[in-house]
Amino acid sequence: MQESLEELKINLDHYPEKDGEEYLRLCDNQILRIYPQIKMRWARIYGRRWAQLLGNFVDIPFNPLRIKLNDKYGLLIDNANSLSPADLEQLIAILKECFEDEPLPRTRNS
Where are the chain's structural domains?
2-98
pLDDT (tens digit per residue) in 26-77:
899 999 999 999 999 999 999 999 999 898 777 767 789 999 999 999 999 9
Contacts 24+ apart (CB under 8 A), 72-75: 72/19, 72/44, 72/45, 72/101, 73/24, 73/42, 73/43, 73/44, 73/45, 73/99, 74/42, 74/43, 74/45, 74/50, 75/40, 75/41, 75/42, 75/43
State pTM to two decimals. Answer: 0.80
Read off the pLDDT band of 109 (50, 70, 90).
Answer: very low
pLDDT (tens digit per residue) in 64-86:
999 999 999 999 999 999 999 99
